[in-house]
Amino acid sequence: MSKALAMQGASIDFVVPYRAEHPQIDFMTIHSATELTPLERYGLGAYDSKAVIDAKLSDADINDLKDMRGVQKRYVKFVENLVTVSVPDAIHAHDWLTMEAGIRAKELTNAPLIVHVHATEFDRSGSEMGNPLVHEIEQQGLMMADRIIAVSNITKSIIMQKYGISEDKIEVVHNAIDVTDFNDGYQYDLRTYAYLEALKDEGYTIVSTITRFTVQKGLTHFMKAAARASEKYDKFAFLLAGSGEQRDELIALAAELGIADKVFFTGFVRGKQWRDAYSVVMSSVSEPFGLTALEAAHHDNALIITKQSGVGEVLKSIFRYDFWDIERLADQMVGIAASPALQQSLKQNVHQEYDRISWHDVATKCLNIYNSTLAGATL
Amino acid sequence: MSKRGIVLYLHVHQPFRVRQYSVFDTANKHDYFAEPNYDNDRNNERVLRKVADKSYRPMNSLLEKLLVQYPDFKVSLSITGTFLEQAEMWAPDVIESFRRMVATGRVEIVSETYYHSLAFFYSRQEFERQVEMHRTKIRELFGTETKVFRNTELAYNNELGKWAEGYGFKGILAEGWDPILEWRSPNTVYRPAGTENISLLLKNYHLSDDLAFRFSNKSWTEWPLTADKYNSWVNASAGDQPLVNLFMDYETFGEHQWADTGIFDFFDAFVGDWLKDDSNTFYTVSEAIEAIPPVGELSMPNTVTWADTERDLTAWLGNSMQQEALRHLYALEHDVMRTDDLELIADWRKLQTSDHVYYMCTKWFTDGDVHAYFSPYESPYDAFLFYINAVRDIRWRLHHYHGTGSLNG
């Protein structure tokens, strides 16, 4: 998205919380707020808020870079310095990790703050509140924001309902994908797939899901639907790619439902293996967007996506269902397996659709939001 | 020289929509058309009652008023069997008002397939059975014989023209599509290629679609369309030609164009304006054919319909789901007919209604809006899925009946 923004004339100072070389990136200025390596950054658990220590920023140790709060404090300091040197026209902050820095930059510069919401604590935790500290940071960031960009209507309604933000402050800008990102050195795992290949040769339909195995992904519903679908159609194989806390529970559930021989756990893999599936299911209970669905579309799959997943708002050539509606999902799986015309139509049409969604359009919408916010701002 | 006449032809139709019929219903329940939730758009009773209030009742009142007010006002109607069955159940007063209109002698009923099907393109035998069923139903309800034929979606080709002549019809209706007409006008009568005793009436799609599609469109440069303006267009189009054929869905009035767009007042005023000129009148389809001899032969070797920018059958048979759905359905014909089970035969025929495959249309990006508007399904894939589950159930019932046959497909 940054690249698309730059191509449309925006000048970007991009602050990352780690030390990194980005030799291919010449369209914006990248600033490193810390000397952490990207690997260490992942160890902080930015996307797993349960690992976050409950600390006010003022209590955090700015020198403790093993602690997320320490990194965030350093990040804020860095941004404070940066905005005094290079005063921005607009501040674009993403999610709770950088909201505090965004608020601080706004205080110092009076520039409008645009908060881009890719996921809320509500989505990450799958429960009402999640981590109260994260929720509070989000609440503050959303309230201080001049404009909010949500990645889907689902996210927009969560921001309205769970955070009490008024509708007119929120714009929906859906994500896009860059297909050139998909060549990621994928290794074909012959041990797992030799068997699936054999099943395919015998006319089996492979239904896969690629995700973290957590409650919010709705995989127990998926598994029950798999069992229900198998009552009506014999030749199914279900491939669960990923890992997570629910893995053992799901293995046990498959056995309990009597479909253990049809279910394959492959660990986390990306990219090309989807080419070998027929249908990909996104069973999330709450999914702000779900870029993996666009990736699956790129690899010629028929998609079944819950109505609670944002990506479903931008694709028409898909099946949708409510995450709890096991019968509906099972019916759709059987339909795809039993009707070649349906399967082909879904695959071909979604393939034509997904790459019309471009980052260029996303950037245009963001620039419009910057400009309209600047024009309307009372400074 | 006879007067210049408008041929107003309105098509009245409602399908039996398939409910959310899942693979778990297949072989268990046969109630494909009985959506249990009354508030759902697939609930046929709800839709019929709603459209009766919005369209059939107010428009019939207006038509009856115009018939009283103007001795020269005439209308032609095609009313499908699937509509009549539903109106008999849920809006019998609407049928009564149609009967009163027909009794004036100035309202003609046009022939078509009872089930609003595309059977002509799949089974000539089944097609003729449905035409005969419709003629019988019209005879019973209205006491009249149909003389002019229209095929579902106005789907027409030379072969159909010849069939209609052979079957004894005096006339047949089709789209007045520019690439076929070239320099010729739709405002007169033609003879279908290769026939001698049948006439062809062509829809003036510019003027018809001004009402059917554009009337309430605020981004249309001619919006708002007044009776005065429209009357001047119709007069200009007619010129020294004898006819202007305004063919459209009956539901244009009140359902596609809501009452608050002013469509009823507009139409009331327009009829008055047109008839103010003594050289203007209205014709029924048969009267037009009686009054005006064909000016020449017109050939349509390829099928032309009244839909979309392509004017072909692609909205119904353009994608593989639609083709597969009807291929599987018509493949059952022989086994269905030999059951002599009237309920099973009726279920099979209700699935032939063209609306079902229309809901499966995926021409999203050009004609998508129109299709989206008319579909009670969340997606064309849903429409296909519920439909094919129902077709499988028919197959299962046949399997049960005959103890033979395959359940594949």
Residue A268 sits in a domain whose CATH number is 3.40.50.2000
Assess contact for B76 and B10: CB atoms under 8 A.
yes
* Alpha-helix residue ranges (DSSP H) falling in B22-167: 44-51, 57-69, 81-90, 92-103, 124-142, 158-167
Considering the domain architecture, whether residues A42 and A119 belong to the same structural domain is answered as yes
* Number of domains chain A is built from: 2
How far apart are the CA of B102 and the nearest CA of chain A, in angstroms? 45
Q: What is the distance between the alpha carbons of residues B304 and B314, in angstroms, rounded to a whole number?
A: 10
Which residues on chain B place their C-beta less than 8 Å from a C-beta of chain A? 22-24, 319-321, 323-325, 362, 364, 378-379, 381-382, 384-385, 388-389
Interface of A with B (CB under 8 A): 228, 232, 316-320, 327-328, 330-332, 334-335, 338-342, 344-346, 349
Decide if B321 and A317 are in contact by the 8 Å CB cutoff.
no
Closest by Cβ to B379, choosing from A316, A331, A340? A316
**Co-location of A141 and A251 in the same domain:** no
The reply to whether B86 falls in a domain is: yes
Question: Which residue matches tokens 């046969």?
Answer: B30
Pairwise CA distance, residues B400 & A322, whole Å:
35
Tell me whether residues B378 and A349 touch, CB distance under 8 A: no
Nearest-angstrom CA–CA distance, A13 and B77: 69
Q: Which residues in A lie closer than 8 A to residue B385 (C-beta atoms)? A: 319, 331-332, 335, 339, 342
ipTM of model over 0.90: no
Hunting for tokens 């981590």 — which residue is that?
A: A131
Q: Which chain B residue has its CA at the smallest distance from A339's CA?
A: B409
C-alpha A92/C-alpha A176 separation (Å) is 18
What is the model's pLDDT at position A50? Answer: 53
Residue B381, classed as helix, strand or coil, is helix
> How close A206 gets to chain B, by Cα (Å)?
19
- B153 is known as an active-site residue: yes
pLDDT at A55 exceeding the cut of 80: no
Distance from CA of B381 to the nearest CA of A (A): 7
> Is the pLDDT score of A323 beyond 50?
yes
Distances (CA, A) of A300 to A32, A303, B324: 38, 9, 21
How many beta-carbon pairs under 8 angstroms link A with B?
Answer: 66
Claim to verify: residue A186 and residue A88 sit in the same structural domain? no
Compute the mean pLDDT over every residue in chain A, rounded to the nearest whole number: 84
**Are A232 and B323 in contact (CB < 8 Å)?**
no
Cβ within 8 Å, pair A334-B23: yes
Claim to verify: residue B288 and residue B351 sit in the same structural domain: no
Of the candidate ranges A127-131, A179-183, A252-256, the one whose mean pLDDT is the lowest: A179-183
Tell me which chain B residues have a C-beta less than 8 angstroms from the C-beta of A330: 22-24
Average pLDDT of span A92-116: 90
The pLDDT of residue B366 is: 44
Those residues whose C-beta lies under 8 Å from the C-beta of residue A14, and which sit 6 or more positions away, are A2, A28, A29, A30, A31
Q: Per the CB < 8 Å rule, is B323 touching A331?
A: no
B147 and B279 together in one domain: yes
**Residue B407 falls within a domain, yes or no?**
no
User: Would the CB atoms of A345 and B389 count as touching at under 8 Å?
Assistant: no
Check B35, B85, B112, B153 and give the catalytic one. B153
Q: Is A257 exposed, middle or buried (0-12, 13-18, 19+ CB in 10 A)?
A: middle
3-state secondary structure of B310: coil
**Same domain, residue pair B264 and B205:** yes
pLDDT at A158: 92
Say which DSSP state B42 is in. Answer: T
Q: What is the DSSP secondary structure assignment for residue A169, as one 8-state letter?
A: G
Q: Which residues of B35-53 are buried (b: 16+ CB within 10 A; e: fewer)?
A: beeeeeebbbebbbeebbe
pLDDT(A293) > 70: yes
Question: Stretch A210-235: mean pLDDT, rounded?
Answer: 94
Could you list the residue range(s) of the whole structural domain that residue A323 is in?
A: 180-354
Question: Which DSSP string do the residues of B206-231 spell out, in sequence order?
Answer: HHHHIIIIITT-TTSTTPSPPHHHHH
Predicted pLDDT at A199: 85
CATH number of the domain at B255, please: 3.20.110.20
- Ramachandran class of A56: left when φ > 0, alpha when ψ lies in -120 to 50, beta otherwise: beta
Q: Are A360 and B52 spatial neighbours (Cβ–Cβ below 8 Å)? A: no
Q: Is B378's CB within 8 Å of A228's CB?
A: no
Domain membership of residue B55 as a residue range: 4-298
Q: How far is A316 from chain B (nearest CA, A)?
A: 7
Confidence class for position A379, pLDDT limits 50, 70, 90: very low
The string of pLDDT tens digits covering residues A324-375 is 999 999 999 999 999 999 999 999 999 888 777 778 888 888 888 888 887 6
- Chain A residues within 8 A of B381 when measuring between CB atoms: 317-319, 335, 342, 345-346
Is there a single domain that holds both residue B248 and residue B328? no
Distance CA B119, CA B82 (A): 15
Give the residue from chain B lying closest to A303, CA to CA: B381
Using CA coordinates, name the residue in chain B closest to A316: B379
Residues of B in contact with A334 (CB under 8 A): 23
Q: What is the pTM of this model?
A: 0.88
For A341, which of B22, B324, B379 is closest by C-beta distance?
B324
CB within 8 Å: A335 and B320: no
| Residues A132-143: tens digit of each pLDDT | 888 899 999 999
Tokens for A70, please give them: 């320490």
Q: A328 contacts in B (CB within 8 Å)?
A: 22
Do B320 and A345 lie within an 8 Å CB cutoff?
yes
Within a domain: B305: no
| Nearest-by-CA chain A residue for B385 | A335
Residue ending a domain, among B298, B324, B342, is B298
Average pLDDT per consecutive 10 residues, chain B (409 residues; last block may be shorter) = 91 98 94 96 97 98 98 98 98 98 98 98 98 98 97 98 98 96 96 97 97 94 96 95 97 96 97 96 97 96 92 92 96 96 98 96 61 78 96 94 70
Residue at A303: amino acid letter: L
- Chain B closest-CA separation from residue A231 CA (Å): 9
Q: Are residues B205 and B328 in the same domain?
A: no
- Average confidence (pLDDT) over A214-235: 95
Q: Indicate the number of domains in chain B.
A: 2
Cβ contact B154:B209 at 8 Å: no
Contact call for residues A236 and A229 (beta carbons, < 8 A):
yes
Q: Do B379 and A228 touch (CB under 8 A)?
A: no
Same domain, B218 and B341: no
- Peptide bond connecting B242 to the previous residue in cis, omega within 30 degrees of 0: no
The phi and psi torsions of A217 (rounded to 5 degrees) equal -85, -5
Do B162 and B227 reside in the same domain of the chain?
yes
* Contact partners, residue A289, CB within 8 Å, separation at least 6: A118, A151, A152, A155, A174, A175, A309, A310, A311
* Residue B170 shares a structural domain with residue B98: yes
Alpha carbon of A181 to those of A18, A161, A176, A185, B113: distances in Å? Answer: 21, 35, 12, 11, 55
Is B141 found in the same domain as B27? Answer: yes
Distance from CA of A335 to the nearest CA of B (A): 6
Closest in A317, A338, A341 to B320, CB measured: A341
Q: Taking a C-beta distance cutoff of 8 angstroms, is the pair B34, B67 a contact?
A: no
- Co-location of B113 and B196 in the same domain: yes
Which residue blocks in chain A are alpha helix, DSSP H?
Answer: 2-7, 38-43, 68-85, 95-109, 121-125, 132-144, 153-163, 190-201, 219-232, 247-256, 291-298, 326-338, 340-354, 359-376
- Lookup result for tokens 């520039």: A111
Burial letters A309-339, b for 16+ CB under 10 A, else e: bbbbbbbbbbbbbebebbbbbbbbbbbbbbb
Return the amino acid letter for B20.
Q
Neighbours of B323 (CB within 10 A): 15
Question: B343 in a domain, yes or no?
Answer: yes
